[in-house]
Amino acid sequence: MFRRQIKIKVFRLSRLWIIGALLWGLSGLFTTALAEGPITSEFFSMDDGGVTSSNPQVTALARDTGAAYLRIALYWKVLEPSNTTSANYNWEPIDALFNRLLEAGLVPLVYIAENPSWVANTPCGPIDTTNAARRADFAEFMGAIAARYPQIKRWGLYNESDGSSVPFHTGGCFGDDETADINYNGVPDYAEYAEMLGIARDAALQANPEARVYMTVAFDDFDIKTCPPNYGCLPASHFDYNFLPNLFGYMASHPRANGQPYADALAFTYYDIYGPHWERQPSGKGQRGIQAKAAAIQKRMNDAGVFFPMFVTETGEDSQDGWIGADGQSRCLTISFVRGMAISLETVVWWTMVDNPGKGWYYGLVDTAGTKKSSYHAFQTLFGEMNGWTYIKRWTKTKTVEGYQFTDGAKTKWVVWSNRARADGKAPCAYPRAQARMNFRAKRLSVTDLYGNVKIVRDNHPGDLNPRVGRIRLELIGSPQYVVVKR
C-alpha cells in the first residue's frame, strides 16, 4: 500500500463484538461498552514480515512480547505448484515453518496468498468460480490445510483483497477497476471473492469444526478512479473504494444455504495517517483513528444488512527520526491498540516485527540485528498492563483528555493521554500534544509510563496538583500512561 507524505509501504483474530450491528449505528457509539470479558493474549499480534519465523532469536523475542499470534502468509503456489491431490502437496516447507512457530509458542495467523498459475490467471485474484473443477480444487486445498494444522484456527483469503491493480497488488486484486472481471468469466471479482470465502469456510469447517475464515481489505489509499469525496487520492494509490460495499451487497442479495455466513470475520488494515478522513465522516463522529475507520466499515455492513466481527491485520508506523521517531512509534502502537480494545476488536496486528532497511521500512519492534527498539518495550508494557483487564468506558471530557477505563474485577485502571494535539502533517497518533490534567477520586495512584516505569502519586503529596483532600490531579502528556486508582 502506498502511503502519503512520500512514504511508501506494501503488505501491511477471539473476542466477539459485544454490540449487534444495529447498535453500532446509534449515537454515543463506543462511549460506554457492555464488555463481555477480559482482554486476552489473542488480542495481541505482530506481522512476520518474511523474517521473524526464519530467525529463532527474533521468533523468541516475538513470543516474549506476550502476543499469542504471528501473522504470516501461506503461498498456495508453494504448496501445490501443479494440480495434484493433497497427499502429494509440497508439505515440507510449510510444515517446517508452522511447526517452528508452534513449538516456539506462537500460533500462525494465516492468510492465503499467491495462486498457482494452473488455477488462476493472476496470483492475486479469483479462481473461476463457475468452474466446478476449480471450486473443488480450492475446497480440497482449504480442507487439507485446516485438517493438517488443527492448532491454527484462523485462515484469511489474500491480503488487502480490494487491491485495484494487478501490477501493484499487495496480496489481493479482487478490486481491479479496469475490467472488474480479471479472469473474464462474466462474474464480478467481488462476487467471486464472496464465493471463494464460502467455499473456504465450508471446507475448513468440515476439516476442523473450530476453524474460522476471514476476509481482508485495505479500505484506504483509494485509487483515483473510485476516489470518494474529499479523500485526496493520488495516482500511485491502488485500492477500490467500491469493493467493500459491492462485496457486502452481493452477500446480502445472495444468502447462503441454511443461513450460513460467507465468512466468520472481516480484517482490515489501519494506518493512522488516514485516521482524520474517517473521523470526519458522520459514522466517525466522536471516534478516534482506528475506531472511526471501524465505524465506517460497520456502516457499510449496516447499509447492506450483514454483520461480521472485525479485527486489524496491520497497523504500524515508521520510527525514523525524519518521520515520528522511536517514541512516536511507541505512542502510536499503544494508542491504536488501546483504542482497538475499547471497541472490542478481536485482534490487532502490529506491522511488523523486524525492520526492513532495504526497502526503507523501519516499522519493526526490533532492528535487523534483533536489538529491541523502544516500541518493543512499549508492546511488552502494553501486554503486561492490559492482558486480563476488561474495558468499561471512555472518559467523556474528550476536549483535553483521551482516556479509557478498565477493570480486573478488583481494581480500576485508566489508560490516558493528553488530547490537546497540534497537527504536524505526520501520523496523528504521534502529534505533539500540550499538557493536560485529569482528576481522580483516590488516595493513591500507581502510574506506569509507556515503557513500564512506575511511580506512586499520593493525595496531597508531590505530583498531586489538586489541593482538595481525596482528589488527585494528574498531569498528562502525549504519551499514554496506565493509572491504577487506589481508594
User: Does residue 368 register a pLDDT over 60?
Assistant: yes
Q: Are residues 331 and 412 in the same domain?
A: no
For 294-351, the DSSP string reads: HHHHHHHHHHHT----EEEEEE-----TTTTHHHHHHHHHHHHHHHHHHTT-S-EEES
Q: Are residues 281 and 234 in the same domain?
A: yes
For 98-133, the DSSP string reads: HHHHHHHT-EEEEEEE---TTT-SSSSS---TT-HH
User: Does residue 332 register a pLDDT over 70?
Assistant: yes
Please give the average per-residue pLDDT across 3-10, as a whole number: 36
User: For residue 148, what are the contacts with CB-CB under 8 A and spacing of at least 6?
Assistant: 91
d(CA 329, CA 391): 24
Q: Pseudo-torsion of CA 200, 204, 210, 211, nearest 10°?
A: -50
The confidence score (pLDDT) of residue 7 equals 36
Are 351 and 10 in contact by the 8 Å Cβ rule? The answer is: no
The number of helices, as runs of H, and strands, as runs of E, in the chain is 11, 16
Domain assignment present for residue 345? The answer is yes
Domain assignment present for residue 6? The answer is no
Q: Are residues 117 and 164 in the same domain?
A: yes
What is the tally of structural domains in the chain? Answer: 2
Backbone torsions φ then ψ of 129, nearest 5 degrees: -75, -5
Q: Are residues 351 and 410 in the same domain?
A: no
Residue where a domain terminates, one of 388, 417, 441: 388
Cell of 195: 464465493
Q: Among residues of the chain, what percentage have pLDDT more than 70?
A: 93
pLDDT band at 167 (very low <50, low <70, confident <90, very high): very high
The confidence score (pLDDT) of residue 197 equals 98
Domain assignment present for residue 325? The answer is yes
- Between 30 and 180, where is the model more confident? 180
pLDDT band at 318 (very low <50, low <70, confident <90, very high): very high
Please give the average per-residue pLDDT across 186-194, as a whole number: 98
User: Does residue 338 register a pLDDT over 90?
Assistant: yes
For 43, the 3-state DSSP assignment is helix
Are 340 and 348 in contact by the 8 Å Cβ rule? The answer is: yes
d(CA 62, CA 351): 12
The confidence score (pLDDT) of residue 432 equals 96
pLDDT band at 188 (very low <50, low <70, confident <90, very high): very high
Domain assignment present for residue 60? The answer is yes
User: Does residue 473 register a pLDDT over 60?
Assistant: yes
Q: Tell me the pLDDT of the chain averaged across its residues.
A: 92
d(CA 266, CA 245): 13
Separation in Å, CA 109 to CA 202, 307, 312, 468: 19, 22, 12, 51
User: Does residue 16 register a pLDDT over 80?
Assistant: no
User: Does residue 409 register a pLDDT over 90?
Assistant: yes
Are 179 and 125 in contact by the 8 Å Cβ rule? The answer is: no
d(CA 196, CA 185): 15
Q: Are residues 325 and 440 in the same domain?
A: no
The string of pLDDT tens digits covering residues 434-472 is: 999 999 999 999 999 999 999 999 999 988 888 999 999
The confidence score (pLDDT) of residue 403 equals 97
Domain assignment present for residue 395? The answer is no
pLDDT band at 396 (very low <50, low <70, confident <90, very high): confident
d(CA 301, CA 312): 16
User: Does residue 28 register a pLDDT over 90?
Assistant: no
Q: Are residues 356 and 411 in the same domain?
A: no
Residue where a domain terminates, one of 348, 367, 388: 388
| Domain assignment of residue 477, given as a range | 401-486
At position 441, the amino acid (one-letter code) is: R
β-bridge pairing 44-47 and 69-75:
parallel
The string of pLDDT tens digits covering residues 67-104 is: 999 999 999 999 999 999 999 999 999 999 999 999 99
Residue where a domain terminates, one of 323, 358, 388: 388
What is the CATH classification number for the domain harbouring 130? 3.20.20.80
Q: Are residues 364 and 440 in the same domain?
A: no
User: Does residue 430 register a pLDDT over 90?
Assistant: yes
At position 124, the amino acid (one-letter code) is: C
What does DSSP assign to residue 322? T
The string of pLDDT tens digits covering residues 35-62 is: 468 999 999 999 999 999 999 999 999 9
User: Does residue 31 register a pLDDT over 90?
Assistant: no
Q: Are residues 374 and 419 in the same domain?
A: no
The confidence score (pLDDT) of residue 453 equals 98
Q: Are residues 405 and 384 in the same domain?
A: no
For 417, the 3-state DSSP assignment is strand
Domain assignment present for residue 343? The answer is yes
- Between 33 and 78, where is the model more confident? 78
| Residue in this structure with the C-alpha cell 526503507, named with its chain if needed | 360
Question: For 297, how many CA atoms within 13 A lie in the half-sphere containing its CB?
Answer: 28
Q: Are residues 71 and 218 in the same domain?
A: yes
User: Does residue 162 register a pLDDT over 50?
Assistant: yes
Are 331 and 316 in contact by the 8 Å Cβ rule? The answer is: no
User: Does residue 299 register a pLDDT over 50?
Assistant: yes
Domain assignment present for residue 251? The answer is yes
Q: Are residues 311 and 429 in the same domain?
A: no
Domain assignment present for residue 321? The answer is yes
What does DSSP assign to residue 255? P
User: Does residue 32 register a pLDDT over 90?
Assistant: no
Q: Are residues 132 and 109 in the same domain?
A: yes
The confidence score (pLDDT) of residue 248 equals 98
